[in-house]
Amino acid sequence: MPALYLPDEAATRAFAAALAPRLRAGDVLCLDGPLGAGKTTLVRALVEALGGDPSQVASPTFTLLHQYHCHPPMIHIDAYRLSGPGDLDGLGFEELAEGAISAIEWSQRVAAALACWRCWRLVLDHEGRGRTVAVLEPA
């Protein structure tokens, strides 16, 4: 997987702006990479690129699923807080995901529940003061 270099948050926003028009309702963004790699920052940039309010975006902790008003709407899950794929059922993920773009941080923890969706795999990492993102498009 080739990786893009994102030297700063402005680069992350530019990446999100380029990706946003290619996303459609029912797509799932599988976001992986270590703590601080920029997963939540990328979700915030996507909400902005899709016409929503980026200030609404925060890591889903107490509320395990966030919904953002943008076009299409987005849902945001941090699977670090879940014990496994079965937890997605309790959040009503399937119903919500059909009409939205879903962003799932630490997606590997719930990978078994995501196989049937149109998945984008986005792997972020630290690189100096910036970040990298490797992109695997849906088949």
Q: For residues 75 and 102, is the Cβ–Cβ distance under 8 A?
A: yes
Q: Give the dihedral of Cα atoms 12, 105, 61, 83; nearest 10 deg.
A: -170
Nearest-approach distance from CB 116 to ligand ADP, in angstroms: 25
Piece of the chain touching ligand ADP by CB under 6 A; list 33-41, 81-89, 93-101, 113-121: 33-41
Q: For residues 105 and 133, is the Cβ–Cβ distance under 8 A?
A: no
Query: Can residue 60 be called a binding residue for ligand ADP (CB under 6 A)?
Result: no
Query: Which CB sits closer to Mg ion, 49 or 79?
Result: 79
Cα–Cα dist 55/44, whole Å: 8
Query: Can residue 111 be called a binding residue for ligand ADP (CB under 6 A)?
Result: no
Which residues contribute to the site for ligand ADP (CB under 6 A)? 6, 8-9, 11-12, 33, 35-41, 105, 130-131
